[in-house]
Amino acid sequence: MEKTNSKILTLSFALTGAIIGLTVHLLIKAFSGAFGTVARAAENDLVKHGLPVVTGLGLFLFLQFSPKVLAWAEEVVVEVRKVVFPTRKETTGMTIVVLIFVFISSLIVTVFDFGSAWFINGIIK
């Protein structure tokens, strides 16, 4: 495994662990408002702060030292490096085309909306 790929993977795994730890913290906070059992458990600092840290750190260690995960992640990095991104000019051109089509679509929907409203009002009266 290349040194730069190793750094990218370690950083990615660390961010994943941090996000999962934050998610566990927010879930504990949300569920403590809804469930009394979770609220009583969340009063303990070990559960409130320790569980998210242990969960995030455990996930990081699992991802970092699992050979199958490392092999898969290495393949992902290799494939992502092959991606060719459009130039600024191409991106600007495609954005303009999308905006024009959205404008045309909104005009068509507006015409159909007013037309159907006029038709329905004519039937009702």
Quote the pLDDT of residue 5: 81
Tokens of 19: 């996000």
Distance (Å, whole) CA 107 – CA 10: 49
Residue type, 40: R
Tokens of 29: 């906070």
Residue type, 38: V
- On the question of pLDDT at 28 being above 60, the answer is yes
Task: Look at the block and give the residue holding tokens 């495609």.
Answer: 94
68-83 residue pLDDT tens: 999 999 999 889 989 9
Check: pTM over 0.85? Answer yes or no. no
Report the mean per-residue pLDDT for the chain: 92
What does each C-alpha distance from 66 to 18, 48, 123 come to in angstroms?
18, 28, 69
92-101 residue pLDDT tens: 999 999 999 9
Contacts of 70 (CB under 8 A, 6+ apart): 1, 9, 64
The percentage of the chain sitting over the pLDDT mark of 70, rounded to a whole number, equals 98
Q: Categorize the per-residue pLDDT at 57 as very low, low, confident or very high, splitting at 50, 70 and 90.
A: very high
DSSP 87: P
Quote the pLDDT of residue 88: 96
For the residues 26-49, what does the mean pLDDT come to? 90
